[in-house]
Amino acid sequence: MTPAGALLFYSPIDRHDLWTDHLKALLPQLDVRVAPEGLARPDEIAYALVWKPSPGDLARLPRLACVFSLGAGVDHVIADPSYPKSVPLVRVVDPSLTAGMTEYVVLHVLMHHRRQSDFADLQRMRKWRQLSVPAARDVRVGILGLGVLGLDAARRLLGFGYQVSGWSQSRKHQPGIESFAGASELAPFLQRTDILVCLLPLTPETRGILNARTFAQLPRGAVVINAARGGHLVESDLLAALDAGQIKAATLDVFACEPLPSSSPLWAHPKVTVTPHVASITDPRFVARAVVDNIKRLEAGEALENVVDLSRGY
Ligand code: NDP
Ligand code: OXD
């Protein structure tokens, strides 16, 4: 099968050579072009595989048939007001991406619950002190966003014995997981959450959701883990809540400005764990196949998989 047009690979951070190898191993006839040079003949591009494309660039491709996000999130694409709305946008849904996120969430929930940073402090001081650690069944974990990633993490956390709940737009019916839905159920969800994990997509409705009001509704001494997007967090509100003891500690993987500037107070904050947007990374070995399969579907006139609903923004 020879595709109807070239694929533009467009990412300031991902390895184009790896992606090209994996894509061409599956579809040798695919003409892969790499931005910015690859934008030279815009009328030859039918597909774009992108991470944070510059606003306006996709709108310059007159024959664009499908855009593939290099991540599960698509905020980096639809933030562009000129995104051509008639062109389907496909996101990553992949077991390896889900597994990576679940590992990250479980690691950090356990780290906070098991007071690992307190024990690390004691070790530095050569102090032998058996701090008390609650049983998992007495710890309430609440996940903002019970989608592909949130649901998998919730199920795994349930396996450790935590009391797990989730907040989403629509009600979920998952054994053992308490479901809260919609804006009116955010407050009761927060009130029963000791460790809050954010796995929401970034949309106009969820931007800034990790703010002073949200923190105030959590029990005193709650923990916040944000592995979704930096735009969800009001950093100054978190710093104030940490200083006041309302929030005991935070793990942050994503930031409003990435890379996190060296001047950020978050780097050296004793109650904050920083990781550089690595909670889960798209693996070209697996996801190239999903891209190629969707190209084949589109060219055969079949329905695409994992298409984003542009009207709701995720
Ligand atoms: P999904 O689209 O599968 O799930 C999103 C969930 O959020 C759904 O449960 C949805 O509710 C809920 N939701 C959306 N908007 C609202 C709202 N306004 N109020 C309440 N609930 C809402 O996304 P994924 O699980 O695949 O990914 C989630 C996010 O994780 C991505 O968008 C991305 O930003 C981030 N991510 C971060 C990575 C990292 O390395 N740090 C890696 C991969 C992803 P409903 O189910 O009812 O629709
Ligand atoms: C994603 C990400 O959205 O890597 O997949 O953040």
**Residue for token pair 């909670």:** 279
Is 90 exceeded by the pLDDT of residue 2? Answer: no
Indicate the top mutation candidate among 52, 68, 70 to test ligand 2's pocket, ranked by most ligand atoms within 8 A of CB: 70
Give me ligand 2 centre to Cα 51, in Å: 9
Which pLDDT belongs to residue 3? 87
The single residue of 207, 229, 269, 285 carrying the catalytic annotation is 229
Is 90 exceeded by the pLDDT of residue 26? Answer: yes
Mean confidence (pLDDT) of the chain: 97
Are residues 144 and 209 in contact, defined by beta-carbon separation less than 8 angstroms?
yes
> Hey, whose CA ends up nearest to atom 1 of ligand 1?
147
pLDDT digits (tens, 9 = 90+) for 197-212: 999 999 999 999 999 9
The single residue of 140, 277, 297, 312 carrying the catalytic annotation is 277
Quick check: helix, strand or coil at residue 61? coil
**Cα distance between residue 215 and residue 234, in whole Å:** 11
Omega of the bond leading into 62 within 30 degrees of 0 (cis): no
Number of CB atoms found within 10 A of residue 302's CB:
11
**Cα distance between residue 289 and residue 298, in whole Å:** 14
**Helices within the chain (DSSP H only):** 16-26, 75-78, 95-113, 116-124, 148-160, 186-191, 212-217, 235-244, 284-299
Question: Does the predicted TM-score (pTM) go above 0.85?
Answer: yes
Q: What is the DSSP string of 168-236?
A: ESS---BTTEEEEESGGGHHHHHHT-SEEEE-----TTTTT-BSHHHHHHSPTTEEEEE-S-GGGB-HH
What is the average pLDDT across 36-48? 97
**Cα distance between residue 254 and residue 235, in whole Å:** 11
Is 90 exceeded by the pLDDT of residue 115? Answer: yes
**Cα distance between residue 94 and residue 282, in whole Å:** 8
User: CA 299, 305, 307 angle in degrees (round to 5)?
Assistant: 105
Give me ligand 2 centre to Cα 100, in Å: 11
Indicate the top mutation candidate among 91, 287, 314 to test ligand 1's pocket, ranked by most ligand atoms within 8 A of CB: 314
Is 90 exceeded by the pLDDT of residue 303? Answer: yes
Are residues 1 and 31 in contact, defined by beta-carbon separation less than 8 angstroms?
no
Q: Which two tokens stand for residue 5?
A: 């047009």
Confidence of residue 4 (pLDDT cuts 50, 70, 90): confident
DSSP state for residue 307 in the 8-state scheme: B
What is the average pLDDT across 27-52? 97
Which pLDDT belongs to residue 1? 77
From the CA of 281, give the closest atom in ligand 2. 4
